[in-house]
Structure 1
Amino acid sequence: MNSSIIQLKEIAQKSTKTIIGLMSGTSLDGLDIALCEVQGAGQSTEVTLKKFITKLYTAQNKKRLNAISSINETSMEEVCLLHSWLGNYHGKLVNEALREWDIAPSDIDCIASHGQTIYHLPKIQHRQEGMPNSTLQIGDSDHIARTTGILTIGDFRQKHTAAGGEGAPMVSFVDRLLYTHHTENRVLLNIGGIANFTYLPARNNNQSETITTDTGPGNTLIDMATQQYFAKEYDKDGAIAKRGTVNRKALNALKADPYFKKPLPKTTGPELFNLTWVDRLLYKAGVADIDPENLVATLSRLTAETITDSIKKVLDEQQPAIYISGGGIHNPVVYNWITELLPSCSTSSFENIGFNPDAKEAVIFAILANETLSGKGFSLDANNPDSPTINFGKISFPT
């Protein structure tokens, strides 16, 4: 038997694994690296976050990735080059983190790499007859495996689209496995570049169904406006939004986009929600000359209202507890508006039921990798236990 297959079998048979989860979101700010201890598989899965760090991208590297991300036309030469380059780069960042933590690569059973999404294209966006849902991530897992010497699992979203899904959000498979409560209805809200949530009815709630969906822009439009008009990476502590005033006419024009009227679940990305989209709708509504501070405030309110509008669609008489993760948890303006718009729900950090909310998505992929290695896979339909199961990810050997 091939020695790599023997190694794979030995890792898969471990009752406890040390797995590094990697996540780089649409904000392109850096690579989240989560060192996890994962026990068991399936319903017996338990995870402990041992270490976490975000390795920030340099301005030059962020510029290179921005040049090929979420745009209709780009250089195929750059896409090809950066697919391999980013795999090497992520591998080097993992090696750097391990040195800082004084942990040997041989102590790691595998790496779970999300990659960098450069284009997300579900059917509801491309609307081309006969064409499937599609999504594309770069950061080749073979390069990560070779650079680190660690077995790597990547391309998680591809299996979802191959099975008929939209390739996002992926969190639901782990959310329902680990965080469904016996008596508490929960919403696990992640505010990244794009916002998404998983609604988890309590086990004793037979009236509601699990649902996972994107809601629309999370941080992406706020970040883009802040970068363009204030030369800052993001609106730290919501300071710019606090100085501004929400322009209700502009907000209504943005909320009139057909995406927000589409039924749940649905996915989206910066391919739709970008400043070109904002400029087009505001020009059409006659508010193109909005003050930059007011624009940031309006986009922040857009995030809060579209999140809460979507959550309200799944609420029943038993109001859920909302646990928030992702970068948006650090924006008090958005956070407070969400709380105000959902007064019957308790709102708090995901840390109250899990771990560091910034690490959640990286940990998600570590658990997906663990299930690929040792589990029976995830049911495609959370509300139908008899639906087909799938395992996520492609395995890259270091040799």
Structure 2
Amino acid sequence: MHPHIEKLHAIANKKTRLIVGLMSGTSLDGLDIALCELSGSGSSTECNLVDFTTVDYCDDYRRNVKAIFAKPEGSLEHLCLLNPWVARYHAKLVNQAIQGFGYKNTDIDLIASHGQTIYHSPKVQHQYEHFPNATLQIGDGDHIAVLTDIITLSDFRQKHIAAGGQGAPLVMYGDYLLFHSSIENRIMLNIGGIANLTYLPSKGDISKVFSSDIGPGNTIMDAFIQTISSKLHYDDGAKVASAGSIHQGLLMELARSDFFAQSFPKTTGPEVFNLEYLHSAQKSADATDLSNEDVMATLCDFTAKCIVDSIVTLGQSLPDLSVYVSGGGLHNPLLMRRIQIRLSNKLPHTKISSTTQLSVNPDAKEAVLFALLANETLCATGPKLKATELNMPQITMGKLSFPD
């Protein structure tokens, strides 16, 4: 047996495993690094978040990624160069984080790296008859493994597409294992660049559970605020949006995308919801002369509308529904207030709080879930959880990279 396989076998048989989960989202704000202690697998999984940090990206990282991010055309050379460059940058941050957590790299069993999404294009979006669903994450796992000297799993989304899924969102499996309740109907809402949710009714098996993107989270707001000032990456404290008023005509135009008519589960990205989408809606609404504050206020309410409309559609038949929020949008006070107002008007008995109430850091949740996927890849035994093809094919995700 090859020593690498022997090591994997030994890790899989350990009582507990230390796995570093990495998440770099479409907001391009920073790398989420979650150090997790995991034991068991499947429904017997136990996961403890040992430590967590988000390392802000430098301007050079943002500039290089934005040169090709979510664009249908760009430099093939730049894309080729970025693939190892992103990985090496992430590896450097991981090495620093492990040391900051008080551990050595030799203490870590696995790294689970999401990579950096560059382009996401499900078939319903690109509409080319002879091409399948597609997505691309860069930050090659081989470079991370070599530079950290830790076995690395990466590129999780490709298997999901190969098995009939759309490549996103992938949170359903982890949300089900960690958060499903037999006594409470739950929706796990994550507000990143794109907003997504996992539907967790208390009754029924995993075939009733699914994850779906539901529209823009922070992506258009962040993109617009960056046109106001090169020093702003997001509307800190919603100061700009809070100074404006909602333009109802623009709000209605923003809500006209064909995406919202698609059934669940579905997926989207900044390839659809971007500044071009905003500018087109402004022209249609005769709202091209709005103040920056009014544009931001309207974009904020647009995100709230997308989120609440989806929650209402899914939750109107569920009594005592609880919504647990994670992701960067949780820190936008105006957005959370608008969600609460809209939700109270339509589902007044719905409770909304952060995943802190479930003992999970809301900023760390997605990184934790990728660590959990890596744990399943290595340690799952017995029959897989039953699931429909549309939400989570019965597959093992992640490509293995060895340090040597």
Whether these two folds match at TM > 0.5 is yes
Q: Tell me, in whole angstroms, the C-alpha distance in 2 between the residues paired with 1:209 and 1:340.
A: 28
The match for 2:218 is 219
The match for 2:403 is 398
Q: Tell me, in whole angstroms, the C-alpha distance in 2 between the residues paired with 1:80 and 1:134.
A: 18
* Structure 2 residue matching 1:362: 3-state secondary structure: helix
The match for 2:339 is 338
Q: Tell me, in whole angstroms, the C-alpha distance in 2 between the residues paired with 1:173 and 1:338.
A: 26
The match for 2:82 is 82
> Between the two proteins, what is the percent identity of the paired residues?
47
**CA deviation string 1:322-347 (max 9, x = no partner):** 00000000001111111122222100
The match for 2:312 is 312
Gaps of 5+ in 2: none
Deviates more, 1:135-144 or 1:7-16: 7-16
**CA deviation string 1:32-54 (max 9, x = no partner):** 10000011101100101011011
1:380: how far off? 7.0
Asked if the contact 2:164/2:389 (under 8 Å) is kept, the reply is: no
1:209: how far off? 2.8
Deviates more, 1:134-143 or 1:82-91: 82-91
* Structure 1 residue matching 2:314: 3-state secondary structure: coil
* Structure 1 residue matching 2:368: 3-state secondary structure: helix
Counterpart amino acid of 1:194?
I
The two structures have a TM-score, normalised by structure 1, of: 0.96
Q: Tell me, in whole angstroms, the C-alpha distance in 1 between the residues paired with 2:275 and 2:34.
A: 32
Q: Tell me, in whole angstroms, the C-alpha distance in 2 between the residues paired with 1:171 and 1:237.
A: 27
Counterpart amino acid of 1:36?
C
1:383: how far off? 9.4
Superposition map of 1:6-21 within 5 A: 6-21=6-21
Q: Tell me, in whole angstroms, the C-alpha distance in 2 between the residues paired with 1:12 and 1:137.
A: 26
**CA deviation string 1:340-386 (max 9, x = no partner):** 2222210001111131100000000000000000014854735999x
1:101: how far off? 2.0
1:129: how far off? 0.9
1:65: how far off? 0.7
Q: Tell me, in whole angstroms, the C-alpha distance in 1 between the residues paired with 2:41 and 2:127.
A: 38
The match for 1:132 is 132
Q: Tell me, in whole angstroms, the C-alpha distance in 1 between the residues paired with 2:67 and 2:393.
A: 38
Asked if the contact 1:380/1:390 (under 8 Å) is kept, the reply is: no
Asked if the contact 2:42/2:385 (under 8 Å) is kept, the reply is: no
* Structure 2 residue matching 1:358: 3-state secondary structure: coil
The match for 2:112 is 112
Superposition map of 1:362-381 within 5 A: 362-376=367-381, 379=385, 381=387
Asked if the contact 1:210/1:382 (under 8 Å) is kept, the reply is: no
Q: Tell me, in whole angstroms, the C-alpha distance in 1 between the residues paired with 2:364 and 2:154.
A: 18
Q: Tell me, in whole angstroms, the C-alpha distance in 1 between the residues paired with 2:212 and 2:386.
A: 14
Q: Aligned-residue CA RMSD in angstroms? A: 1.9
The match for 1:146 is 146
Asked if the contact 1:210/1:383 (under 8 Å) is kept, the reply is: no
Q: Tell me, in whole angstroms, the C-alpha distance in 2 between the residues paired with 1:180 and 1:22.
A: 23
The match for 1:360 is 365
**2:324 pairs with 1:323:** yes
* Structure 1 residue matching 2:74: 3-state secondary structure: coil
Counterpart amino acid of 1:93?
L
1:92: how far off? 0.8
Gaps of 5+ in 1: none
The match for 1:73 is 73
The match for 2:94 is 94
* Structure 2 residue matching 1:164: 3-state secondary structure: coil
Superposition map of 1:186-335 within 5 A: 186-203=186-203, 209-231=208-230, 232-315=232-315, 316-335=317-336
**CA deviation string 1:99-137 (max 9, x = no partner):** 222211010000000000000010110111131111000
Counterpart amino acid of 2:58?
T
Residues 230/262 of structure 1: CA separation in 2 closer, same or farther (3 Å cut): same
1:199: how far off? 1.1
Counterpart amino acid of 2:40?
G
* Structure 1 residue matching 2:170: 3-state secondary structure: coil
Asked if the contact 1:137/1:155 (under 8 Å) is kept, the reply is: yes
Counterpart amino acid of 2:111?
I
* Structure 2 residue matching 1:70: 3-state secondary structure: coil
1:212: how far off? 1.4
Residues 317/53 of structure 1: CA separation in 2 closer, same or farther (3 Å cut): closer
Counterpart amino acid of 2:354?
S
**CA deviation string 1:156-186 (max 9, x = no partner):** 0010000010000000011111211011000
Asked if the contact 1:115/1:137 (under 8 Å) is kept, the reply is: yes
1:393: how far off? 0.4
**CA deviation string 1:44-91 (max 9, x = no partner):** 001010110111111111100111110011111111111011111111
* Structure 1 residue matching 2:19: 3-state secondary structure: strand
Asked if the contact 1:196/1:215 (under 8 Å) is kept, the reply is: yes
The match for 2:38 is 38
Q: Tell me, in whole angstroms, the C-alpha distance in 1 between the residues paired with 2:379 and 2:266.
A: 30
Q: Tell me, in whole angstroms, the C-alpha distance in 2 between the residues paired with 1:393 and 1:142.
A: 12
1:15: how far off? 2.3
The match for 1:389 is 394
Residues 384/287 of structure 1: CA separation in 2 closer, same or farther (3 Å cut): closer
The two structures have a TM-score, normalised by structure 2, of: 0.95
